[in-house]
């Protein structure tokens, strides 16, 4: 399940399986959940019955009724097929997940609190939450739990698709383990926290299969509207029977059913659940598991993103960005000394000094003289350097270097102090460089903002989403980074309580908040946030509190999750608008055909100049069925999403799906009519 393994949308085996499933879904008991398509199916049954009667009695137009019946069945079938194919894409994933869930044996400790490991061999299915089990290297963890003792390397590829092992240990934020993953080293004791059938993997399977799919709030509301529209058109068509009777037009039931089915919103009705499943699927393929569809919708509505500074906005480490030489020292001299002094510093910060010196001055690392002695960086000394005989080059924290030089902070040159102050004020970290007892200058270490992140935030702002940086830094540093990254607000020296408070304040102002976190102390904020993304590496508490889990544990994804949520809603809206605006053309196809026998002058309304009344009605029905198939790829892929303001999105989508939906069926129906007339089908 890695991000790159996209199952082909129209794999042949998948198609065949979806087709079988589509037929199975024709069961009216299952279709009842979808009123629009259910009404279509009733219509299809009715017309089929009438067709058989016409065949039996040799009356009417069985050729015409038969074709209408066939296309009505196709309409229903295309709708169930759309749902089946959307589900099918999750099925393969579910199958591979299931393999890791197969019945495993577990060693349950009889006396969990005793140091002595007395255990009994039980099936994982017999375990209960609270049991403590012993899992050793090479064994599979039976159920979700928390390590109570020991530390182990664990392969979580079954869930994350990432084969590099992760370290899990008792206590702290890395104690959660997931059932179905494999212990690679050592032996751990795990307290089971989930009952069999309710583990993370079980939930994932249910999710990707769409088995327990609940309709999301917005989907439910949309179904209500679609049912209402179906009812309205049902009224219009049923009453038409009386009105036509008055006018002396005998309108056959077949034609009335055809009119009804083309008017009710079958396009969106047929694709609605496929859109929802595909949206969820997009998230899963993005390696994010949402515990409910509601969370995906909420992601589209998010107004404020709480982003951790480290890893999301900045690279994890501070990097050298500038050499500030003292008067009388060239920048090159400073860079050379810094380069030499950093030879003994293997930390990312030390390497960044080397990298900067090479980049700015093209310095290569000179071969070290025999006599050179490296002074490696140590957390205690907080400096590194190089001794060349008597010459001692040092680089490190300002106070450490001053101590090395034996100078008090009061005696340093004013320029040095000014440079150090300036760097500190800008949110950076100053490092001093000394060579042979002389202060050469200062290295500016700073949090490096990820390239492109500023533009991302600008895009988010255009979409109306505020970004808030959360950091443990002091307010001065935080403010400097915040302004450089272009976030709208920041939370400095943030404690978990601060986060929770901030979320509550924003929510009180009517805004929806998304955040991510991994620690147990993040759990309240994750639960409070409207979209809480827990990291897979996080604690069980965090994973329970959030409504999404990111299997890659990448906090930057929050931005993409919002995009996926928006795309889901947009797709739904676009196809609804398209479906509704289609009706205009269908009226112009069917109504003149309906009444032209009684009132030949009604031909004036036959704007499309359709061949005959039969071909007009048939063309509308066929168009109505084919448009569902034609839009399946769009429903699965989602409407193209770009981060721009709502007004711009609306203008574009209204032009494509509103106006397009108005105009397109005129052309489509005309083309089908031409084909039908040409093939002598009507």
**Segment 502 to 561, residues that bind another protein, using CB under 8 A:** 509-512
Q: What are phi and psi of 514, to 5 degrees?
A: -120, 145
Which residues, 79 to 98, sit near another protein by CB under 8 A?
none
Single residue of 28, 49, 172, 245 touching another protein by CB under 8 A: 245
Q: What b-and-e string marks burial along 78-101, b requiring 16 or more CB atoms within 10 Å of the CB?
A: bbbbbbbbbbbbbbbbbeebeebb
C-beta of residue 606 within 8 angstroms of C-beta of residue 592: yes
Minimum separation from the CB atom of position 488 to another protein (A): 11
Is residue 363 part of the contact set for another protein (CB under 8 A)? no
Distance between CA atoms of residues 99 and 86, nearest Å: 22
What's the closest the beta carbon of residue 471 comes to another protein, in angstroms?
24
* Residue 20 interacts with another protein (CB under 8 A): yes or no: no
Tokens 């272009």: give the residue.
486
Q: Which of residues 262-291 bind another protein (CB under 8 A)?
A: 263
The two tokens of residue 154 are 């664990």
Question: 213: Cβ–Cβ under 8 A, 6 or more apart, which residues?
Answer: 273, 276, 277, 280, 293
Judged by beta carbon, residue 51 or residue 233, the one nearer another protein is 233
432 HSE (CA, 13 A, CB side) = 26
Cα–Cα dist 128/481, whole Å: 48
Q: Which stretch binds another protein (CB under 8 A): 243-251, 397-405, 470-478, 537-545?
A: 243-251
Minimum distance, C-beta of residue 653 to another protein, in the bound complex (Å): 4
Q: Cα 326 from chain centroid?
A: 51
Give the shortest CB-333-to-another protein separation in angstroms.
Answer: 51
**Residue from 476, 604, 663, 667 binding another protein (CB under 8 A):** 604
Give, as ranges, the residues between 155 and 184 that touch another protein (CB under 8 A). Answer: none
Give yes or no for a contact between 339 and 351, defined as CB atoms under 8 angstroms apart: no
Helices (H), 531-605: 540-545, 557-581, 583-595
Does 13 contact another protein by CB under 8 A? no
What one-character DSSP code corresponds to residue 542? H
Two tokens at 80? Answer: 């169930």
Neighbours of 136 (CB within 10 A): 13
Work out which of 306, 383, 653, 676 binds another protein, going by CB under 8 A.
653
CB closer to another protein, 46 vs 654: 654
Out of 197, 228, 348, 413, point to the residue binding another protein (CB under 8 A): 228
243: contact with another protein by CB under 8 A: yes
Q: Is the dihedral of CA 264, 267, 272, 273 positive or negative?
A: positive
Which has the closest alpha carbon to 255: 41, 57, 61, 78? 61
Q: Figure out which of the listed residues 5, 651, 667, 675 binds another protein, where binding follows CB under 8 A.
A: 651
| Of 228, 535, 111, 664, residue with least CA distance to 672 | 664
607 makes contact with another protein (CB under 8 A): no
Alpha helix ranges (H) inside 388-467? 398-405, 414-425, 453-462
The correct pick among 7, 317, 599, 606 for binding another protein (CB under 8 A) is: 599
Sign of the CA dihedral with 388 first, then 391, 393, and 399 last: positive
Examine the residue annotation and report whether 550 is marked as an active-site residue of this protein. no
Query: Which range of residues in 118-126, 191-199, 202-210, 653-661 is near another protein by CB under 8 A?
Result: 653-661
How many other CB atoms are there within 10 angstroms of residue 18's CB atom? 24
The CA distances from residue 251 to 238, 258, 261, 390, 598, in Å, are 11, 11, 15, 109, 10
Residue choice 225, 455, 458, 675 for contact with another protein (CB under 8 A): 225
Of 206, 244, 388, 424, the residue at the interface with another protein (CB under 8 A) is 244
- 253 counts as binding another protein under rule CB under 8 A: no
> Which residues within the stretch 406-465 sit at the binding site for another protein (CB under 8 A)?
461-465
* Residue closer to another protein (CB basis): 21 or 303: 303
Nearer to another protein, 248 or 406 (CB): 248
The one-character DSSP state at 577 is H
Residues numbered 461 to 490 that lie near another protein (CB under 8 A) are 461-466
Binding-site size, another protein (CB under 8 A): 77
Using the minimum distance from each CB to another protein, give the nearer residue, 200 or 578. 578
Q: CB neighbours (10 Å) of residue 681?
A: 16
- Exactly one of 32, 645, 671, 675 binds another protein (CB under 8 A); that residue is 645
In the complex, what is the shortest distance from the CB of residue 489 to another protein, in angstroms, rounded to a whole number? 14
Closer of 110 and 220 to another protein (Cβ)? 220
Q: Check if the beta carbon of residue 237 is closer than 8 Å to that of residue 263.
A: yes
Closer Cβ to another protein, 127 or 617, answer by number: 617
- Joined together, the tokens standing for residue 271 give 């694709």
Binding of another protein at residue 236 (CB under 8 A)? yes
Radius of gyration for the alpha carbons in the chain, expressed in angstroms and rounded: 34
Residue 573 CB, nearest approach to another protein (Å): 3
Whose Cβ is closer to another protein: residue 76's or residue 575's?
575
3-state secondary structure 90-123: HHHHHHHHHHCCCCCEEEEECCCCCCCCCEEEEE
Minimum distance between the CB of residue 594 and another protein, rounded to whole angstroms?
A: 8
Spatial distance between the Cα atoms of 520 and 398, rounded to a whole number of angstroms: 36
Map tokens 């009519």 to a residue: 673
The count of other CB atoms within 10 Å of the CB of residue 368 is 13
Contact residue for another protein among 111, 646, 663, 667 (CB under 8 A): 646
Strand order, beta sheet including 151-155:
166-169, 151-155, 182-183
- Residues contacting 645, CB < 8 A, separation 6+: 462, 463, 464
Residue 247 or 474 having the CB closest to another protein? 247
Q: Which of residues 289-318 bind another protein (CB under 8 A)?
A: 297, 300-301, 303
Binding pattern for the stretch 578-597 against another protein, x by CB under 8 A and - elsewhere = --xx-xx--x---x--xx--
Q: How far is the CB of 306 from another protein (least distance, A)?
A: 16
Query: By CB under 8 A, is residue 242 in contact with another protein?
Result: yes
- Nearest approach, Cβ of residue 386 and another protein (Å): 55
* 66 versus 300: smaller Cβ distance to another protein: 300
Contact call for residue 130 and another protein (CB under 8 A):
no
User: By the 8 A CB rule, do 143 and 194 touch?
Assistant: yes
Candidate list 131, 308, 435, 583, residue with the active-site label: 308
* Beta strands at 304-308 and 513-517: parallel, antiparallel or unpaired: parallel
If the CB atoms of residues 182 and 581 are measured against another protein, the closer one turns out to be 581
Residue 440 and residue 337 in contact, taking contact as beta carbons nearer than 8 Å: yes
In angstroms, what is the minimal distance from the CB of 245 to another protein? 6
CA-to-CA separations, 43 to 48, 49, 592, in angstroms, rounded: 8, 10, 22
Using the contact rule CB under 8 A, the part of the chain among 197-205, 227-235, 431-439, 615-623 near another protein is: 227-235
Query: Min. distance of Cβ 285 from another protein in angstroms?
Result: 19
Among 241, 250, 365, 663, binds another protein (CB under 8 A): 241
Residue of the chain from 569, 589, 625, 664 that contacts another protein (CB under 8 A)? 569
For residue 218, state whether it binds another protein (rule: CB under 8 A).
yes
**Which of 246, 328, 364, 379: binder of another protein (CB under 8 A)?**
246
As annotated, the active-site residues are 308
């Amino acid at each position: 399940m890695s991000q790159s393994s996209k199952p082909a949308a129209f794999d042949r085996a998948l198609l065949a399986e979806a087709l079988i499933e589509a037929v199975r879904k024709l069961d009216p008991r299952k279709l009842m959940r979808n009123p629009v398509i259910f009404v279509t199916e009733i219509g299809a049954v009715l017309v089929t019955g009438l067709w058989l009667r016409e065949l039996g009695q040799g009356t009417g137009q069985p050729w015409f009724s038969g074709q209408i019946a066939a296309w009505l069945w196709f309409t229903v079938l295309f709708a169930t097929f759309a749902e089946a194919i959307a589900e099918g894409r999750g099925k393969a994933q579910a199958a591979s997940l299931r393999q890791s869930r197969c019945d495993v044996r577990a060693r349950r400790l009889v006396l969990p609190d005793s140091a002595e490991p007395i255990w009994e061999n039980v099936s994982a299915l017999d375990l209960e939450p609270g049991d403590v089990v012993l899992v050793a290297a090479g064994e599979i963890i039976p159920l979700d739990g928390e390590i109570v003792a020991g530390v182990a390397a664990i392969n979580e590829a079954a869930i994350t698709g990432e084969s590099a092992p992760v370290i899990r240990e008792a206590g702290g934020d890395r104690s959660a383990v997931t059932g179905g993953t494999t212990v690679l080293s050592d032996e751990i004791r795990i307290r089971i926290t989930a009952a069999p059938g309710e583990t993370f993997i079980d939930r994932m399977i249910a999710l990707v299969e769409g088995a327990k799919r609940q309709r999301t709030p917005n989907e439910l509301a949309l179904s209500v509207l679609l049912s209402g529209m179906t009812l309205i058109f049902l009224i219009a068509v049923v009453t038409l029977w009386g009105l036509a009777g008055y006018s002396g037009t005998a309108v056959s039931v077949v034609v009335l059913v055809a009119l009804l089915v083309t008017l009710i919103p079958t396009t969106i009705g047929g694709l609605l659940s496929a859109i929802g499943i595909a949206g969820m699927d997009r998230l899963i393929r993005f390696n994010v598991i949402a515990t409910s569809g509601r969370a995906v919708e909420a992601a589209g509505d998010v107004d404020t993103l709480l982003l951790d500074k480290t890893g999301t906005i900045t690279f994890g480490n501070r990097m050298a960005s500038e050499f500030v030489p003292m008067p009388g020292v060239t920048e090159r001299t400073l860079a050379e000394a810094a380069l030499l002094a950093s030879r003994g510093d293997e930390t990312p910060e030390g390497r960044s000094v080397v990298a900067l010196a090479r980049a700015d001055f093209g310095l290569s690392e000179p071969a070290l003289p025999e006599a050179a002695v490296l002074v490696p960086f140590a957390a205690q000394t907080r400096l590194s350097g190089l001794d060349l005989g008597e010459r001692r080059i040092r680089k490190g924290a300002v106070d450490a270097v001053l101590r090395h030089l034996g100078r008090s902070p009061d005696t340093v040159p004013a320029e040095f102090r000014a440079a150090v102050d300036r760097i500190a004020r800008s949110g950076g970290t100053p490092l001093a460089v000394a060579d042979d007892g002389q202060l050469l200058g200062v290295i500016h270490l700073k949090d490096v903002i990820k390239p492109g992140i500023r533009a991302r935030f600008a895009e988010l702002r255009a979409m109306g989403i505020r970004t808030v940086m959360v950091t443990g830094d002091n307010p001065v540093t935080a403010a400097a980074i915040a302004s450089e990254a272009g976030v709208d607000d920041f939370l400095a020296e943030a404690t978990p309580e601060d986060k929770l408070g901030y979320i509550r304040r924003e929510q009180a102002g009517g805004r929806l908040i998304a955040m991510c976190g991994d620690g147990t102390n993040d759990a309240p904020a994750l639960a409070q946030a409207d979209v809480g993304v827990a990291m897979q590496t996080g604690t069980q508490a965090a994973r329970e509190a959030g409504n999404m889990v990111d299997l890659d544990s990448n906090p930057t994804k929050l931005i993409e999750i919002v995009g996926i949520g928006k795309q889901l809603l947009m797709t739904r809206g676009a196809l609804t608008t398209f479906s509704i605006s289609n009706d205009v053309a269908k009226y112009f196809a069917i109504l003149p055909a309906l009444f032209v026998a009684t009132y030949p002058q009604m031909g004036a309304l036959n704007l499309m100049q359709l061949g005959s009344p039969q071909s007009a009605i048939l063309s509308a029905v066929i168009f109505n069925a084919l448009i569902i198939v034609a839009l399946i790829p769009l429903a699965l892929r989602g409407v193209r999403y770009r981060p721009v303001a709502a007004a711009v999105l609306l203008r574009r989508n209204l032009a494509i799906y509103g106006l397009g939906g108005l105009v397109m069926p005129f052309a489509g129906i005309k083309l089908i009519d031409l084909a039908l007339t040409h093939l002598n089908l009507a």
